[in-house]
């Protein structure tokens, strides 16, 4: 087998891509310079007595930027389409594009469906009116789908833990020395210093992020909302106390906290598990209060809803916190179906712990602002209970900023997970998560670039996608 | 004003006590002490030997008592061996037990002895902190002006081409954590694979003689991540100021646009970023730890990693005291500075 080149038979596209990129850069530059130099447009152009839109150099450059951007996108799309069709014939790019085929299909389906029905989808649909938001959403969903399909072993070319002889630190496109029947014949993005496939590890790493980051952020939001709403709504001593606690955690350098929480000695004492017991109880409290405050006056309905929501959650809660052989061992083994590996639980708990005070502060600030509104006064006059007002009047009206912050915070959590991996804390050393792979790759960085760069770009693009998505959502939610 | 500062300082001291207690509690959990005993004494110690070693060092007292001794608010523990010799934290070798001071904690200037570096914790922290101080000085010098310029330029005309582009740049830098940008910089500028080799990939030599070649990459790596956030805050504050009534008045009076920005808008727009910059310190500390590890610059962050990784309890406690104090003092400065800068609060 010959080694693969980067673009193979579609190398004729390379110069076109460079020209398109150059044009894009040039047009953006001209656009900025012109917007700074030219005088501002008047809203109404009264030349000849009739109002008309001006088509000066400003509009022309904006058009040029748009055209160059479309051209670049078209060339990149051509790479991917040709790559999907030709596979390894189109070099490494083609082979990777073909491996990701399930992700492309899922993305195309998602986007066509969403754009078709965008008027009926509320804020989510409005996202497709903003180009920035769409780019961000595409990046995020790319990694989410990659995570899911990668976890089902669909995208990866090799097992992320297997070491193949003769492929240590080999460059991208190196063929396997003695491929067996059914093996993929190349290491697409090369091998790392333990001769494992960099590409497969990167894909598997996406799953590590996708399974932890959103859920941890969600838990942090439950904790922050459950504590922040009463702090902002009632104020007084409760607020002082809770804010003091939040500031306490916020004043703690994150990295020190990780080092203190995630070391094996601390895990032995069961401290992270006790923290898990407290932190994981917040969703239960949240849903209990949410349902109870709404249906308090209709006991039958109340009981039904509570049973439907809380029972599964309670069972899940017990299964998650229970870990046979550790300090918290309350359930019999037969009932303990979910077994979270110790490392992941610790990482999860510490990430939730670090994130929740910030969420608390945001929710508290929003509640402080919203409690002075007329509809809250109206609810108070109706005689509604405080918890009903907090959860069914204040919270829904705070959703815009909270959704935006949720996206940003998932990105921040991803960065935190990477930091943990980078310092080798919590996750097992052979784990394919991006932080650990970057940490391993950086040691030989001056000679071999390929093991460290793919996870670095993956993390960068995912967090960038989340930030762009948050930006698009903010813009669209402000338009109402 | 005096009362306000007094209250803030009071809360700060309370927070510092709480935080150091948490660190003290977590570092003094039994498995950590057991590991300490085994690394200090003998790896094959029996459980009884570990217990007697810990007993001798006074580690088996209750945590609050140990904490007070460590802070220097309670008389230090002294151990009397069977042959009559007295040992204790305050008694340095060659000193008679009667002459030793009764209190020796952080407040008395006794920070303990590092088991990894075999040196006084206070002297280690002093040297390491000064190294990190140099790094932080340059980071601030690069980060703050560029972030402010970026933010002000973007916020001047909301929605303009400059704004869009600069905002995208700011978003990209906030999405690039230090360990990603650092790796990218090393790969591009110092690896033999790309071949540019403009800068050095390690900053070890920068500890003696910092120069552009060995110090630029670590400084830029830290500055870049913090810059985006400050720039976005500056932009938000600038756009808010630019829609204010007094700006409209100035425009209608016929003041030129550069004059409006420089004389009317800028001073009011810079109040919010000041607090943001001060509150960035906890995150910068985070970045310092990552970058010092990545570039092998043996400063404060590197010491933190070494202390935490090697279970060096006294050094870790010293490091956390310093970092908690840094964070709290910057918060205090940001609170007081906000009051001073904001004319509405200052005059009333």
Is the CB of B149 inside 8 Å of chain A's CB atoms? no
Mean pLDDT, chain B, integer: 86
Alpha helix ranges (H) inside B45-160: 47-57, 63-71, 121-156
Q: Do B32 and A419 touch (CB under 8 A)?
A: no
pLDDT at B205: 84
Q: What is the mean pLDDT of residues A206-217?
A: 92
Tell me which residue of A347, A267, A262, A276 sits closest to A318, measured CA to CA. A276
Question: Could you report the per-residue pLDDT of A395-442, keeping only the tens digit for each?
Answer: 999 988 899 999 999 999 999 999 999 998 878 888 889 999 999 888
Residues of A in contact with B192 (CB under 8 A): 446-447
Chain A contact set for B177 (CB, 8 A): 415, 418-419, 459, 463
Residue A329 has pLDDT above 80, yes or no: no
* 3-class secondary structure, A427: coil
pLDDT at residue A333 in the model = 66
Q: Report the residue from A251, A448, A460 with minimal CB separation from B180.
A: A460
B239 interfaces chain A, CB cutoff of 8 Å: no
Q: Phi and psi (nearest 5°) for A187?
A: -95, 105
Q: Is the CB of A460 less than 8 angstroms away from the CB of B175? A: yes
User: CB distance A438–B179 less than 8 Å?
Assistant: yes
Q: Rounded to whole angstroms, how far apart are CA atoms A420 and B148?
A: 31
DSSP readout, B203-218?
A: -GGGGTS--HHHHHHH
The Cα A215–Cα B269 span in angstroms is 37
Q: What is the pLDDT of residue A112?
A: 94
A418 contacts on B by Cβ (under 8 Å): 177, 179-180
- Return the SS3 of A186: strand
B176: chain A residues, CB-CB within 8 Å: 460, 463-464
Among the listed residues A173, A192, A194, the one whose alpha carbon sits nearest the alpha carbon of residue A450: A192
**What pLDDT score was predicted for residue A480?**
63
B255 is written with which tokens? Answer: 């003041």
**Which residue of B162, B186, B286 is in closest CB contact with A35?**
B162
Which pTM was predicted? 0.90
Q: Does A274 touch chain B (CB under 8 A)?
A: no
Nearest-Cα residue of chain B relative to residue A36: B162
Residue B226 pLDDT > 70, yes or no? Answer: yes
Pairwise CA distance, residues B170 & B231, whole Å: 7
Whether B348 has a pLDDT exceeding 80, the answer reads no
Closest Cβ–Cβ partner in A419, A447, A471 for B290: A419
What is the DSSP track for B87-118?
Answer: EESS--TT--TTTS-S--SGGGT---EETTTT
Whether A439 and chain B come into contact, CB under 8 Å, resolves to yes
Q: Which tokens in the block code for residue A95?
A: 């082979």
Structure-token match 């929740």, residue found: A356
Q: What is the pLDDT of residues A449-472, one digit of tens each?
A: 888 999 999 999 999 999 999 989
Per-residue pLDDT of B239-288, as tens digits, reads 989 989 999 999 999 999 888 888 888 888 888 888 888 877 778 888 89
Interface contact A63, partner B, CB < 8 A: no
Average pLDDT for A164-188: 81
Across the interface, whether the CB atoms of A419 and B179 are under 8 A apart is answered yes
**Is B18 within 8 Å of A269 when comparing Cβ atoms?**
no
- Å between B96 CA and nearest CA of chain A: 37
Best mutation site among B180, B232, B280, B328 for testing chain A: the one with the most A CBs within 10 Å?
B180
Among B157, B193, B319, beta carbon nearest to A447: B193
Q: Are B23 and A256 an interchain contact pair (Cβ–Cβ within 8 Å)?
A: yes
* Residue that wins the pLDDT comparison between A379 and B84: A379
pLDDT at B37: 83
List, for residues A37-66, the tens digit of each pLDDT value: 776 655 444 555 444 455 677 788 888 988
Please check the confidence at residue B75 and state whether its pLDDT lies above 90: no
Count interface pairs A-B at CB distance under 8 A. Answer: 154
């Amino acid at each position: 087998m010959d080694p693969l080149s980067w673009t193979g038979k579609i190398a004729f596209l390379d110069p076109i891509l460079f020209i398109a990129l150059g044009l894009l850069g040039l047009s953006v530059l001209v656009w900025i310079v012109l917007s700074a130099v030219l005088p501002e447009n008047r809203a109404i152009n009264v030349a000849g007595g009739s109002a008309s839109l001006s088509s000066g150099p400003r509009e022309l450059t904006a058009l040029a930027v748009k055209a160059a951007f479309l051209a670049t996108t078209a060339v990149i799309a051509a790479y991917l389409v040709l790559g999907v069709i030709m596979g390894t014939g189109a070099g490494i790019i083609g082979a990777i594009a073909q491996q990701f085929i399930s992700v492309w299909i899922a993305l195309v389906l998602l986007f066509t469906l969403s754009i078709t029905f965008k008027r009926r989808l509320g804020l989510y649909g409005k996202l497709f009116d903003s180009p920035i938001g769409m780019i961000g959403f595409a990046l995020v969903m790319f990694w989410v789908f990659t995570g899911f399909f990668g976890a089902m072993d669909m995208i990866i070319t090799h097992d992320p833990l297997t070491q193949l002889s003769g492929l240590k630190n080999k460059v991208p496109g190196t063929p396997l020395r003695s491929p067996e029947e059914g093996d993929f014949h190349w290491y697409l993005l090369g091998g790392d210093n333990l001769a494992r496939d960099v590409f497969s590890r990167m894909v598997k790493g996406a799953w590590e992020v996708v399974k932890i980051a959103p859920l941890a952020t969600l838990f942090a939001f439950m904790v922050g909302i459950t504590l922040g709403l009463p702090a902002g709504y009632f104020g007084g001593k409760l607020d002082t106390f809770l804010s003091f606690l939040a500031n306490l955690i916020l004043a703690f350098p994150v990295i020190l906290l990780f080092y203190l929480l995630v070391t094996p000695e601390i895990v032995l004492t069961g401290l992270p598990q006790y923290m898990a017991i407290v932190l994981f109880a917040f969703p239960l409290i949240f849903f209990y209060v949410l349902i109870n405050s709404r249906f308090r006056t209709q006991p039958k309905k109340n009981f039904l809803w509570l049973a439907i929501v809380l029972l599964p959650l309670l069972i899940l809660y017990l299964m998650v916190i229970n870990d046979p052989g550790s300090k918290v061992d309350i359930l019999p083994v037969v009932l303990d179906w979910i077994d979270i590996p110790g490392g992941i639980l610790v990482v999860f708990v510490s990430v939730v712990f670090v994130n929740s005070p910030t969420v608390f502060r945001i929710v508290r600030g929003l509640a402080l602002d919203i409690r002075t509104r007329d509809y809250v006064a109206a609810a108070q006059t109706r005689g509604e209970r405080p918890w009903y007002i907090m959860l069914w009047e204040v919270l829904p009206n705070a959703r815009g900023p909270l959704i935006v912050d949720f996206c940003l915070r998932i990105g921040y959590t991803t960065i935190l997970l990477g930091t943990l991996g980078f310092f080798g804390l919590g996750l097992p050393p052979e784990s394919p998560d991006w932080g650990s792979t970057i940490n391993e790759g950086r040691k030989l960085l001056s000679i071999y670039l390929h093991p460290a760069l793919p996870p670095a770009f993956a993390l960068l693009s995912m967090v960038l996608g989340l930030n762009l998505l948050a930006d698009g959502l903010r813009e669209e939610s402000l338009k109402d | 004003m005096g009362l306000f500062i007094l209250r803030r300082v009071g809360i700060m001291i309370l927070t510092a006590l709480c935080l150091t207690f948490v660190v003290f509690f977590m570092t003094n959990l039994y498995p950590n002490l057991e590991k300490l005993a085994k690394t200090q004494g003998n790896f094959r110690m029996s459980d009884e030997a570990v217990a007697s070693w810990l007993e001798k060092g006074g580690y088996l007292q209750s945590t609050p008592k140990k904490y007070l001794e460590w802070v220097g608010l309670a008389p230090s523990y002294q151990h009397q061996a069977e042959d009559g010799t007295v040992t204790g934290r305050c008694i340095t070798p060659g000193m008679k037990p009667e002459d030793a001071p009764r209190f020796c904690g952080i407040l008395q200037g006794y920070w303990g002895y590092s088991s990894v570096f075999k040196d006084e914790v206070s002297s280690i922290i002093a040297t390491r902190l000064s190294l990190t101080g140099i790094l932080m000085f340059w980071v601030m010098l690069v980060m703050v002006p560029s972030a402010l310029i970026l933010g002000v330029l973007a916020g001047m005309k909301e929605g303009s081409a400059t704004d869009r582009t600069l905002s995208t740049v700011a978003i990209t830098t906030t999405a690039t954590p230090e360990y990603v940008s650092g790796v990218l910089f090393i790969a591009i500028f110092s690896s033999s694979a790309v071949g540019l080799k403009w800068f050095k990939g390690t900053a070890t030599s920068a500890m003696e003689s910092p120069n552009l070649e060995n110090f630029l990459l670590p400084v830029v790596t830290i500055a870049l991540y913090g810059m985006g956030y400050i720039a976005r805050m500056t932009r938000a504050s600038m756009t808010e100021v630019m829609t204010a009534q007094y700006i409209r008045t100035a425009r209608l009076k016929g003041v030129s646009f550069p004059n409006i920005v420089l004389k009317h808008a800028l001073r009011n727009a810079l109040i919010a970023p000041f607090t943001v910059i001060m509150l960035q310190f906890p995150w910068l500390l985070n970045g310092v730890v990552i970058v010092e590890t990545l570039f092998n610059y043996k400063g404060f962050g590197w010491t933190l990693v070494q202390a935490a990784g090697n279970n060096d309890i006294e050094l870790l406690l010293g490091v956390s005291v310093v970092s908690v104090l840094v964070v709290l003092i910057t918060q205090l400065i940001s609170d007081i500075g906000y009051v001073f800068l904001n004319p509405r609060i200052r005059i009333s």
